[in-house]
Chain A
Amino acid sequence: MKRLNAAVHAPRCAMVVFIKEIREIFRDKRTVFGVVISPLLLTPGLLALTGSFLNGEIKRARTEVLQVGIVQPAGAEGTARALKATPNVRWTPVTAAEAERRVRERTLAAALVLPDRADALLVGDRSVPVRVVYDSGSDKSNGAFMRLRLAVEAAGQAVARLRLQQKGLTPDFAAPFSVVDGALKTGGGPGARMVAVLLPYMLALACFSSGVHAANDSVAGEKERGTLETLLASPATRSELVAGKFAAVTCVCLIGALLSIAGLLVPFFSGLKAFEWLVKGGLSVTPLTIVVVLVMQAPLAVLFSGLLLTLSTFARNQKEAQTYLGPLMMLILVPSMMSMFQGAEAPKSMALVPVLNASLIIKQALMQSYDIAFIGLALAASIAYAAAAMLVCARLFGRETVLLRT
C-alpha cells in the first residue's frame, strides 16, 4: 500500500512542479517577450522591413540617374547617339584617360569607351567592341555596369533585327532554340526555398533560446534565491523535481519553436505587400510537412532542455550559468548554420550530427524530398542524444555537492 501511494504521489509531484514552473515562466516578461512576442511580431516585422529595404534598393537601382562618361572618338557619332537613348543616364564626354581616373575617383559611376570608326563597323555588319569601365569594388558602379550592359545588348538586338530584316530573315533565324520554363510546384516557389534555408536555422535557434531563461531560472535561479534548499526539503524526491522542471523547460522550448514557425509563415498568409519578395511563387506545405517538422522538434527540445538544465544545475548562480551559455550557444549555432549551406540530399553520416540532422530533415520536408533512411537514422540519433542529455541532467541533480554549492 505504501509503495502504491508513493507511485501515485511521484507523477503528481512532478506535475505540481511542472505547473508551478510554467506559471512562473510565463509571468516573466523576459520569457513572454522572447518566446511569444518576438517570434510572432518581431520575426514578421523584420522580414517586412527586409522586404521594404530590398524593394527600395531594387527600385533605386533601376531608376536612379547615373553619371556616366562616354569616350566618343571620330566616326562613332551614330553609335553614341543610339546608346545615349538609354533612360536615366546623364552622359559626360571624357577622354579615355579621364574615364579611368574619374571612375576611380567615383565622380563617374562608369564610362563607355567606343572604338574609332564604330559607325563604319556597324554599317559593315561587323561587331563593335564597347568597353565598359567600372569599379568592381563599388556597388553603385557595379549597378551602372549592369544597366549599361543591358542597354548595349538591347541596342545590339535592335541592330541585329534590322540586319536580319534587310536580308529578308525573321528574328528566329538567329535564335534556333528557345527555353520554356517548366518548373513544377512540388517544392514551392523561391519563397519556399527561402523558408527551407531559413526555417531549420531559425527553429533550432528559437527552440534553444526560448529555454535559456526558463532553465537558468529553474535551478541556478533557485540556488541564488535560496529557494532550492526549501524545495529539496519537501517530500518530493529529486527525480520528481527534475522531471517537473525538465518537462517545463522542454515545453517552453517547443512553444518557442512552434511560435517561430507561425511567425515565419505569417508572410505567406497575410497578403501584405511588404512580404511580396518572399512569398513570390507561394509555399507548398502538406500535412506530412507539418508532421515531420513537429516530430523533429520534440527530440530537439528535449536535447536543448537537458543541456540547458545541466548547465543551470552545475552553475552556482544565474550569472555563472550565463557564462557557460556562450560556448554552448556556439555548439548549437554552428550545426544549425551548416544546414543553411547543405542541400536537403545530405550524406547519411550527417544524420548522426545533432541539431544538423533535425535541421536537414526539416529542410527535406519543406522541399518535399524525403530520404526515409536518413530520417530514421536521424530520429534515432536525436532520441539517443536527448535521452543522454536527460540522464546527465538527472544524475547531476542528484549530486548534493553540485546542488547545494552557492
Chain B
Amino acid sequence: MIRTTGLSKSFVDPKRGVIEAVADVSVECRAGEVLGLLGPNGAGKTTLLRMVSTLLTPSAGTATVAGWDIRSAPSEVRARIGYLTGAAAPYDKLTPREMLAYFGALNGMSQPAVRTRTDELVERLDMASFADRRCERLSTGQRQRVNIARAVVHDPPVLLLDEPTAGLDVLAARTVMGFIRDGRSSGRAVLFSTHIMSEVETICDRVAVIHKGRVAAVGTTEELRGRTGRTAFEQVFLSLIGEEGPA
C-alpha cells in the first residue's frame, strides 16, 4: 500500500551547508499493517512522512501510495491518506462538525456524504456531547478525538501518523492507540512515527529504525531482538543505532 524507493531529502543550511535529512530510504507498509518509524528526535521521521504525504518534494527516489506516485500524482496521493500529527490542533473557531464538513469538502465529498460520515464518526469516537461546541472550548482529549475524526473523514486507505501521542495524557494517548488498532483492523496501511519504545512494542507489526536519515534496520520487534541479542527494546534500539553504552 505504501512503498518508498530510495527516498531522499537534503536541505541547504546557510551555516551548516547541505544536510541530508533522509537518505535512500526504502520501506514498505502493507494493507492492514502498522509500520512503526522509530528514531530519536531529528532522525528524519517527520521529513519522511512529509515526503510520503507530498508536503515535501524528494531530492531523490520516490514513493507510491495506494498505487499512486507521489511525484506524478500528488493530489491522488493526498486523497488517499489520513494525516495526523501530534502538533496539529483543530480550528478553534469551528465546531467539530464544521471541521469535518470542511475537510470532507476539501476531499471532494458531497454534503450528504459528509453528514452521514460525520454522524458515524461522532458516534464511534463518542463526540456527541461536544460535536456542536467550538473547538476552543474542548479539552485536550476531546480535541485529539476531533483530530482523529478529521484525519479519517474521507475514509482513506492509508494513515500517516507523525508522533500522534506527543503531549497527550494517558487517556488521550489511549484513544489514539485505539484509533491505530481500528485502522489496522479495517485494512488500512498505517505508517506511524514515534520515539516511544512502549508504543512500538504494543502496536507495531513491524518497525523501521531510522537514524541520521537512514534505515538502520527493519523487522518485527522479535526479529530485531533476535538480531541484537537484547531483550529490553530500548537496548535493542540503542544497539541498532550504534549508541549502545555499557549494559
Contacts and interface: CB of A to CB of B under 8 A. Distances in A.
Nearest to B83: A233
B130 interface: no
A186 interface: no
Interface of B: 11, 50, 53-57, 75-76, 78-79, 81, 83-85, 87-94, 98, 102-103, 105-108, 134, 147, 150-151, 160
Contacts of A17: 106
Contact of A23 (B84, B94, B108, B151): B94
Contact of B106 (A226, A234, A401): A234
A17 B150 CA distance: 15
A227 B102 contact: no
Contacts of B56: 400, 404
Contacts of B57: 400
B105 A16 contact: yes
B144 to A, nearest CB: 12
A234 B89 contact: no
Contacts of A226: 85, 87-89
B93 A234 contact: no
Interface residue range, chain A:
20 to 34
Contacts of A225: 88-89, 92
A20 B102 CA distance: 7
Interface in A203-245: 225-227, 229-237
Interface of A: 6, 9, 12-13, 16-17, 20, 23-24, 27-28, 225-227, 229-237, 400-401, 404
A307 B39 CA distance: 40
Contacts of B75: 6, 235, 237
A23 B106 contact: no
A58 to B, nearest CB: 48
A227 B106 contact: no
Contact of B91 (A12, A24, A400): A24
A321 B147 CA distance: 26
7 contacts: A20-B91, A20-B94, A226-B87, A230-B151, A235-B108, A237-B75, A400-B56
A217 B98 CA distance: 18
B22 to A, nearest CB: 14
B165 to A, nearest CB: 14
Contacts of B83: 229-230, 233
Contacts of B50: 229, 404
A233 B93 contact: no
Taking each of B53, B57, B75, which has the highest tally of chain A beta carbons within 10 Å of its own beta carbon? B75
B106 A229 contact: no
Contacts of A236: 106
A293 to B, nearest CB: 32
B89 A235 contact: no
A233 B81 contact: yes
Given A226-B85, A229-B50, A404-B56, 12 more contacts: A9-B108, A23-B94, A27-B134, A28-B93, A225-B89, A226-B88, A227-B91, A229-B88, A230-B147, A234-B78, A234-B103, A400-B56
A233 B55 contact: yes
A225 B54 CA distance: 20
B78 A233 contact: yes
B44 to A, nearest CB: 14
Contact of A234 (B76, B84, B92, B107): B107
A229 B55 contact: yes
B88 A227 contact: yes
A16 B94 contact: no
Contacts of B90: 227
Contacts of B85: 226, 229-230
Contacts of A27: 93, 134
A406 to B, nearest CB: 8
Given A16-B105, A226-B88, A234-B78, A24 B55 contact: no
B238 to A, nearest CB: 29
B93 A24 contact: yes
Contacts of B106: 13, 16-17, 231, 234-236
